Amino acid sequence: MRSDIFDAFSLMAKEKNIDRYILEGVIKEAFQKMMEKRFGEEAEIEINVNMERGSIEIFLMKSVVEMVEDPDREISIEEVKKLGEEDLEVGDEYAELIPIDDIGRRLVLNLKQTLNQKIREIEKETIFKKYNELIGEVIVSEIYQIKPTLIILMNEGNEVLFPYSEQIPKEKYRKGDTIRAIVKSVEKKSSGLPTVIASRAADQFLYKLFELEIPEIYDGIIEIKKIAREPGERAKVAVISNDDRIDAVGACVGMKGIRIHSIVRELSNENIDVINYSDDPVNYIARALAPAKIDDIYIDVEGKIAKIEAQSDQLSLIIGRNGQNIKLASALTGYQLEIIKYETADESKEEEDETEFENVYDDEDNEIAYDESDVDDGEESDNEENREDDYDDEDNDEGEIQSDENEIEEGNDRESNVNEESSVQDEADDEGQDKQTEDTGKGENKS
């Protein structure tokens, strides 16, 4: 007998990727409980579910008796004969078919609620089991919804949460884009589906990208010992080769960097330093601090402290931008790194010269300041004396000006007198000349 209830729940189970054998058990259990509510817990009920044909058959087992005392558990031999079961005798069991339509509407509603609850529980368990097995693995998902604090991804019909803290900071995401991420964790909740957390900022995501892009790592020939990472900025990866014929760093980088470049592009141009792992902490730390050149390293194995000695021109390389290099090297090696500045003889001499120059400059400033104070005092006294001398000079100048004016007037008078005398003499000369001329004229007339 085909049931509409069965069809509805078969479609639901298919949408939620529930195995049909699991669904078969759920339906049997639901109908079993329903029949127990109707006929009692002691009733013998047999339920047959055919998933291929989509049919459900419910049988109530009754004992064949001469006289019926309990109709729900017994059936008379005469009734059995009427139903065509000629082979049955008293004491045998008869399987009575119960039509689903005769169950009753109330029981059918209870049946639907029970099936819904069971399917939700199965769905929760299925999702949890599926993604719990995928923890640390890469999944490909589509961006379904973007919220201020997280992004909801859709993976095979299931929602996966992609929090802001697990994103690469400088990446930009758009709805509908396809991204790769690892399953970081799965958490069960008292109500609702399990929470699946995806991440692109975890160290494990970088490990899986290396495993996908580099066959030697996938095959176990090259082993990644440790990863230290600042997502989107820089990462350091320590590798070791289990085959002496294979260079671990060279295999990871690839010819012309083709292997490492594909990983860098996936991580939005995150800088990746691949170094050879070493059991010797001194060599390991020196490699982890590359490209800086280290002069010496002092190790405290018990305290996990390493003191780095390097020249002053290497300090910027050791520390790195915003302290990234030394911080990642410390995380990679597991040692607390302290820097000791090492100065060469030339640098020490330069610093001494600079110190002496600064001291001399300070002394000169003090002397100049002292001389200026003396000069100021001397200038004040000189200015007072000069002002007194100026007053005396002004009085003398006034007397001299007055005498000069008198002398000028006397000179002018003398000059005027001389001029008058010269003019009188000129007039006398002119008269004498005229007289001589007249006499000369008279003599010529006479002759």
For domain 134-199, give the fold. Answer: OB fold (Dihydrolipoamide Acetyltransferase, E2P) (2.40.50)
Query: What is the per-residue pLDDT for 6?
Result: 61
For domain 206-271, give the fold. Answer: GMP Synthetase; Chain A, domain 3 (3.30.300)
In the chain, what are the domain boundaries?
Answer: 4-129, 134-199, 206-271
State pLDDT tens for residues 217-243: 999 999 999 999 999 999 999 999 999
State pLDDT tens for residues 101-143: 666 667 667 777 777 788 888 888 889 999 999 999 999 999 9
Residue 378 reports pLDDT greater than 60: no
pLDDT band at 431 (very low <50, low <70, confident <90, very high): very low
pLDDT band at 12 (very low <50, low <70, confident <90, very high): low
Nearest to 52 by CA among 2, 5, 114: 2
- H/E stretch holding 404 reads helix 345-446
Residue 440 reports pLDDT greater than 80: no
In DSSP terms, 185 is beta-bridged to 197
The per-residue pLDDT of the chain, averaged, comes to 77
State pLDDT tens for residues 239-279: 999 999 999 999 999 998 999 999 999 999 999 999 999 99
Q: What is the mean pLDDT of residues 281-287?
A: 93
Helices (H), 134-247: 203-213, 215-218
- ∠ CA 167-168-169, rounded to 5°: 100
Residue 33 reports pLDDT greater than 60: yes
Whether CATH 3.30.1480 fits 4-129: yes
Residues in Cβ contact with 20 at an 8 Å cutoff, skipping those fewer than 6 apart: 10, 13, 51
Tokens in use for 276? 């050879």
Give this prediction's pTM. 0.64
State pLDDT tens for residues 329-362: 999 999 999 988 765 545 544 555 555 544 544 4
What is residue 148's three-state secondary structure? coil
4-129 against 206-271: fold identical: no
Separation CA 85–CA 96 (nearest Å): 11
